[in-house]
A and B are shown apart, each in its own frame.
Chain A
């Protein structure tokens, strides 16, 4: 199975944009890239997904590299409620380590 690599933790100031990277160098041509986040004491929550083109929704944007070996989740203005563990997932059944995002007021 293709694996993902994410930084263990990141920190952002409130109201600033946040770029959360994910490496997936062994991604297959049919693997979608999904992002979920898990707030403290809650179940994971869907954020966004894409295949090749960049994607935008009300929560975030997803920038996918042309070779698809990496992607970046972009939160345009971090709020305190965005503090969570963010998971980049290829096959939707396999959660990796994720990035713990801290947001500083």
Chain B
């Protein structure tokens, strides 16, 4: 079965650079979530989208922005990167944003900021 696809899988950037992470949800899933997981930390919710509109916002820094496109894929844009942004970034998708709905996670993008 098709799963959530994230690209790139690994990304190395310098401080103050920008990065764009992409997420392709499972077909027919219209809800996308972004999480950040620092080393040894638990996943922290950043932001979510439903039908191309932001549906919920968590601890996403102002330097980050995200959007969901007409084909339901989503991109997380990160600017003025800091060392502390080094983390695993997971995208998840679900059929709808209901609290009962299962989230299916992608394999993650490992971002390293040097």
Report the Cα distance A97→B42, complex, angstroms.
6
Q: A43-B90, A43-B107 are in contact. Are A91 and B43 (CB under 8 A)?
A: no
Subset of 15 A-B contacts with CB under 8 Å: A32-B99, A42-B107, A43-B90, A43-B106, A44-B43, A44-B103, A46-B103, A46-B104, A93-B56, A94-B45, A95-B43, A95-B44, A95-B45, A96-B42, A97-B42
Q: Number of residues in A with C-beta < 8 Å to the partner? A: 23
Give Cα A78–Cα B114 distance, bound, in whole angstroms. Answer: 40
Given contacts A42-B107, A43-B106, A44-B105, contact A92 B99 (CB under 8 A): yes
The answer, yes or no, to whether B102 is at the interface (CB within 8 Å) is yes
Residues of A with C-beta under 8 A to B45: 93-95
Counted as pairs of residues, one from A and one from B, with CB atoms less than 8 Å apart, the total is 48
Q: Which range holds the interface residue count of chain B?
A: 20 to 34
A43, B92: Cβ atoms under 8 Å? Answer: yes
Q: Across the interface, which residues of A come within 8 angstroms of B100, CB to CB?
A: 32, 49, 51
Does any Cβ of A come within 8 Å of B48's Cβ? yes
